[in-house]
Amino acid sequence: MGSINPPFQQGQLKPPPIRINLEELDRVKCESCQGEHFDIVWIIHKVPAMLSQTGKEALFPVTYFRCIDCYTVTKIINQS
């Protein structure tokens, strides 16, 4: 028989753990009041049957971030 291939080693290319000091990072601020604290809110879109993969009307929930101080839903993060 031919030569024996060394066993394929998996998991050898893990990136090194990233060490981040969160205090040094810029924070997203509310466009309206410059607040830095946000709630997650869900907006549930209705997908019409025509556009749904199942052929039936479907619900498509999307998370948004809302400033807890002035209730503005920030558009900074929701760029899609």
**SS3 (DSSP) at 68:** coil
Residue 30 binding Zn ion, by CB under 5 A: yes
| Least gap, CB of 25 to Zn ion (angstroms) | 19
Of 35, 52, 58, 73, the one binding Zn ion by CB under 5 A: 35
**Among the residue ranges 9-17, 29-37, 48-56, 57-65, the one whose residues contact Zn ion (CB under 5 A):** 29-37
Of 41, 43, 49, 70, the one binding Zn ion by CB under 5 A: 70
C-alpha distances (whole Å) from 34 to each of 23, 28, 68, 73, 77 are: 17, 9, 11, 13, 15
Nearest 5°: phi and psi at 73?
-80, 115
